[in-house]
Structure 1
Amino acid sequence: MARPTVGKSKADRAAYLVLGMHRSGTSAVTQLLALAGAELPQNVMPGDEHNAKGYFEPWKIAVFNDERLRAGGGAWDDVFAFPYQPLPGPQEAEWAAKALALYDAEFGEAWFPLLKDPRVSVLAPLWRATLKARNMPARAVMPVRHPLSVAKSLMRRDGFPVEKSVLLWVTYMLAAELYSRDMPRAFVGYDRLLADWRAEVTRIEAAHGAALPRLSERAASEIDAFLTTDLRHDAGGGDLSAIPLVGPLAQRAYDWFEAAARDAPRDSEALDQVAVEVADMKAQMGVFVSPAARALDLARADLVEARGLRAMDLRYISTLEGQVARLRSELSTIEAMVDTMIAGR
């Protein structure tokens, strides 16, 4: 597989940002880019029963992103985490300094740093400022997967109702698209990536105006071995329009992204209108949903930390587990109330 030569001048440097929704194929795209020469951070999350081949996610950056989302009153699964809301001046500057220090620790002098954490999509202004501080241009790759396939995966892993998962997909994809409009970017159909990754790489390189750093014959063989059909855990789509309230706007958003993944003409105004409708929902329901999502995320973080301390009093861990269960129940009550509000519209 003959590849163009990638130079070593400063003009050749660029960060690769994998943007988009959780469970949408971001791990598969990240491994492809890593095998093709982009550089993963120092600390990468291993695989588990939900993703045996690995997440390729910078776990220290993921923890930082969770903390930043909570500081702003949200969480990774807050359906109203978009648009990005800066904190008051001194606080925002402090978080920016932390992000820069973390970037330096994780990537050092990397020529093609590869940053994959779906939370970066909704925190993109913070991370883009970090890259700018290091004079690092950015290129984006956004996997596109049907929202109902994502919802099936989140139902199995997190127990989320389909309405929440679909709206969460809309939120992350709107953020990924808006915050990447001024950079080279490629939209990649997840199913097409698994079927013919070479064709998708050709599209990525054309969209970026640059070859992937080091896509050799050996790398191609490793990608062949990695991108297998067993990565498609939740295949198929479904009727988005049948989902109350969020379904029709999700369908319009998915139509846009699916067209983008086929290089078909599309108008960003269509997504801007979806964003207006989500903002309207946020104005009506955000005061109920976002604080509960933040409280649950904080309880989960405390529980993970407690489980990691071997000498921790088991009674305290039991208390935290009870707190998580209570918050889950409260969030379910709030979601039921929101469903009642929707039904009454």
Structure 2
Amino acid sequence: MGIWSFLSATLQHVRGYIVIDEFLEHAPRGQQIQRSIVTVIGMHRSGTSAIAKGLECLGLNMGDALIAPGEDNPRGYWEDAEVLRINKEVLERLNIAWNDTRIVPEALFLGDALTDLHDQAGKLLINRADQYAMWGFKDPRTLRVLPFWLHAAELSGVNLQFVVALRHPYTVALSLQKRNGISLTRGQLMWAAYTLPFLPLIKNHPHVFISYDDLLEQPALILEKIALHLALSIDENKLKNYIERFLSQSLRHHSVSLHDEEYAKNVLPLLDKTYHILTAMKQNEDVVQWVLLASCYEEYQRYQNILEEFDAESDYHWKRRGSFLKRLIYG
């Protein structure tokens, strides 16, 4: 074969690979390889870290790019550093503080202002799914920006599965008050801002509701429940190690008692009602409960003007919007 014939044949061979690569990149959704990723979602201080660690017993890998443990979570956050970076950037661009209470329209998370971040998130999902046989991620902010991740997953052909961490809003507020000095009212409203708007978006995805209290009291049973819903299997040795070395009742610093005078005085009735609807879902989810949840959200939306003023005048909100020096001081 002459040199020109050889070069021509080689070029055709290379072009063939280019065509195949372009086909795979632009193929219809149904022709793409389906990758599944598990994400733990839930409000801050709802046991998402403990649940994420427990998923390792089911063969899930949270990855090697995890942020370091902190003073408020010495056993680890189990949060991918890149997921955290993207979530923070989404909130920053949309001018949302992590402790805001106002309702944010779903459309904001799908707009052109986040196009490059959608691309980054999609590539991250694909890369992690290719790197690990079964990968999962967790960051409480994910629930607040959930439409963003669902859109990124759809664009990249990734199937998201959800483990939803549930904890009573008043208990969450107590924990936030101790850790951040946030008022009980704001803490509960934050729970609503994270929980109510976008949770129904997971209905058509594999998902399971998990109570943090149940996990602490019956870890083996709860992990079996997750395994059943997500079609995974439990490693008994890892489960034993998780229960004996990781979990302890010391993880639960606050619990709700219906007979507590402070609880009766400070709990927000609408959110208490919402929580009990969600806890009913973890037992026997049906369409009626989703309708009831939507009714709670509709009632919550009536307070949007108040919530916006609450955020605008809040000292916490101001700290999150200030100069670099203020950010350095207040985080």
Preserved contact between residue 19 and residue 116 of structure 1 (Cα < 8 Å): yes
SS in 2 for 1:127: helix
Q: Please, which moves more after superposition, 40-49 or 161-170?
A: 40-49
The Cα RMSD (Å) is: 2.8
Preserved contact between residue 79 and residue 167 of structure 1 (Cα < 8 Å): yes
Q: What is aligned with 2:319?
A: 296
| Residue identity matched to 1:258 | T
| Residue identity matched to 1:46 | A
Q: What is aligned with 1:337?
A: none
Residue 141, structure 1, aligned to residue 163, structure 2: yes
Which of 154, 160, 181 is matched with 1:159 structurally? 181
Q: What is aligned with 1:49?
A: 71
Aligned partners of 1:32, 1:260: CA distance in 2, in Å?
Answer: 21
Distance 1:81 1:295, change over 3 A: farther
Distance 1:87 1:167, change over 3 A: closer
Q: What is aligned with 2:276?
A: 255
| Residue identity matched to 1:97 | D
Q: What is aligned with 2:249?
A: 229
- The alignment covers a number of residue pairs equal to 293
| Residue identity matched to 1:19 | I
Distance 1:88 1:115, change over 3 A: closer
Which of 58, 62, 67 is matched with 2:89 structurally? 67
CA offsets 1:88-134 (integer angstroms, 9 cap, x no match): 84323223123234445666533322110111112111112222233
Cα deviation, residue 87, structure 1: 5.8
| Residue identity matched to 2:251 | L
Which of 196, 199, 204 is matched with 2:218 structurally? 196
SS in 2 for 1:262: helix
SS in 1 for 2:165: strand
Cα deviation, residue 250, structure 1: 0.4
Distance 1:176 1:199, change over 3 A: farther
The percent identity for this pair of structures is 25
Aligned partners of 1:235, 1:184: CA distance in 2, in Å?
Answer: 29
Aligned partners of 1:170, 1:152: CA distance in 2, in Å?
Answer: 15
SS in 2 for 1:179: helix
TM-score (structure 2 length as normaliser): 0.78
Larger Rg: 2
Which of 171, 174, 182 is matched with 2:193 structurally? 171
Cα deviation, residue 65, structure 1: 1.2
TM-score (structure 1 length as normaliser): 0.75
Q: What is aligned with 1:271?
A: 293
User: Where do 5+ consecutive residues of structure 2 fail to align?
Assistant: 1-32
Aligned partners of 1:106, 1:139: CA distance in 2, in Å?
Answer: 15
User: Where do 5+ consecutive residues of structure 1 fail to align?
Assistant: 1-9, 307-320, 326-345
SS in 2 for 1:201: helix
Cα deviation, residue 67, structure 1: 2.1
